Structure formats: structure tokens, C-alpha cells
């Protein structure tokens, strides 16, 4: 049965973060707030949890899951980043951006796109999400919490608990999120390509 943990949005309680990280280590899924919307997260090396995440969302293996990272250094471990890509990512993070990059060998093959070997990756600008990443000590696998056959992400922690009482270990309640998706940039080609416009304004990065 999913539990509702109320965390301070600016100074999340260490005791609750430790409890949340333990649930992840035990194979649980968590719903956590980010700078765009609530997301479902799991440990990167937990295949069963990743499969459960895909079932919860109704996603197939071709749908990009996203790695939440603490900083640029962690991105560099998970994705192949050249100098041009690095400068753009540095200008945009942390923030509401998701970057499609070529995955390194640190990323399990079952997580990356099956044909392109790419991964979505980002650094969220939300203190609860970042504190959980710090407590976990490594990137987390994530996907936006959008119910099957619906278009909008859930934004009410109590509703999330009610709808996913048996699929989630807990919901980290830090209040409502912006409820606006990240802007997705494909950086695998010679020039960045905007795949989805969201909270991040491409013009701020010099992109049309």
C-alpha cells in the first residue's frame, strides 16, 4: 500500500529521504516531484522495477525512459558528450530540459532505446528530487506520471496515492508541480533538434 510522505519543498527532511531511498533499494517505485511534474522513479540497476514502471505507464521498450542525474559530471558517466553538447547542457541545467544522447556502457542496454542506443537524461531543478538523488548516490530511472490512455500528468499527491496504491511504495508530497513538460532536445545529430517544446524556452539556448 503506497504511503504519502510530506516533505518540505525547500528543506526536505533527511529522515524521510533515507526512508525513500531504502524503498528504492528494496525494489519499490516512488512518485516524486520535479520542476516539470510528478515522475515515477526506480533504481537504474533494478530490472524488475523498470519493468513495473513500464507496465504502470503502459509503455513499450521503444519509449525513452529518462535518467535523472545530480549534475553534469554524472551526465558524463551515463552519456557520450562532446564539447558542443557539454556547453549547451551546462547552459540549460539544472532545469526543465531533457536531452537525448548516446548512452555509455554504464547504462543497461535494456534501458536505452533498442535500435538507436540513446537515452533521455536531465538534471531536475527541484530540491526534493535532487536531495533524493543525493541520498540514492546514483542516477534514477524515471518517467512522467501520466496514467494509461491519458494525456496529462497527475499533480495531486493524494490522487496519485489513491490511483496507484498497489503499484507504488510511496509518494513524496512536496506540493503541486508546475505541471508543464520538459523541453526535449535531441543532441545526437550535427545540430540540436527540438523534439518537444515545454517549460524550457529554446530561444534561451540560441535555438529557433
Distance between first and last Cα of the chain: 46
Whole-Å CA distances, 40 to 76, 86, 177, 192, 194: 23, 27, 14, 27, 24
For residues 157-168, give the mean pLDDT. 96
pLDDT score at 115: 66
- 29-63 pLDDT tens trace: 999 999 999 999 999 999 999 899 999 999 887 77
pLDDT score at 112: 74
Mean predicted lDDT score pLDDT of the chain: 93
d(CA 48, CA 167): 12
Q: Nearest 5 degrees, angle CA 103-CA 109-CA 114?
A: 85
- 97-144 pLDDT tens trace: 999 999 999 888 777 776 678 999 999 999 999 999 999 999 999 999
Domain housing 139:
3-205
- 111-122 pLDDT tens trace: 777 667 899 999
How many Cβ atoms are within 10 Å of 190's Cβ, its own excluded? 6
Who's near 200: CB < 8 A, 6+ residues apart? 92, 95, 96, 97, 182, 183
pLDDT score at 64: 74
d(CA 117, CA 55): 21
How many Cβ atoms are within 10 Å of 27's Cβ, its own excluded? 14
Q: State pTM to two decimals.
A: 0.94
For residues 152-176, give the mean pLDDT. 95
Q: Nearest 5 degrees, angle CA 25-CA 42-CA 127?
A: 95
pLDDT at residue 65 greater than cutoff 90 = no
What's the structural domain count of the chain?
Answer: 1
- 75-90 pLDDT tens trace: 999 999 999 999 999 9
For residues 183-196, give the mean pLDDT. 95
| CATH code (residue 39) | 3.90.870.10
Amino acid at each position: 500500500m503506497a504511503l504519502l510522505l510530506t516533505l518540505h519543498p525547500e528543506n526536505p527532511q533527511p529522515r524521510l529521504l533515507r526512508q525513500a531511498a531504502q524503498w528504492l533499494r528494496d525494489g519499490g517505485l516512488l512518485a516524486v516531484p520535479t520542476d516539470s511534474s510528478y515522475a515515477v522513479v526506480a533504481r537504474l540497476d533494478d530490472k524488475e522495477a523498470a519493468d513495473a514502471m513500464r507496465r504502470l505507464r503502459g509503455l513499450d521498450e521503444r519509449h525513452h525512459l529518462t535518467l535523472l542525474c545530480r549534475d553534469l559530471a554524472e551526465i558524463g558517466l551515463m552519456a557520450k558528450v562532446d564539447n558542443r553538447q557539454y556547453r549547451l547542457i551546462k547552459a540549460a541545467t539544472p532545469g526543465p530540459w531533457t536531452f537525448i544522447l548516446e548512452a555509455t556502457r554504464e547504462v543497461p542496454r535494456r534501458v536505452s532505446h533498442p535500435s538507436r542506443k540513446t537515452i533521455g537524461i536531465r538534471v531536475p531543478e527541484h530540491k526534493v528530487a535532487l536531495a533524493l538523488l543525493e541520498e540514492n548516490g546514483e542516477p534514477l530511472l524515471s518517467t512522467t506520471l501520466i496514467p494509461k490512455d491519458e494525456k496529462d500528468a497527475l499533480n495531486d499527491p493524494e490522487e496519485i496515492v489513491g490511483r496507484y496504491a498497489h503499484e507504488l511504495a510511496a509518494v513524496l508530497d512536496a506540493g503541486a508541480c508546475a505541471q508543464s513538460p520538459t523541453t526535449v532536445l535531441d543532441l545526437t545529430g550535427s545540430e540540436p533538434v527540438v523534439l518537444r517544446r515545454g517549460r524550457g524556452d529554446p530561444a534561451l539556448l540560441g535555438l529557433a
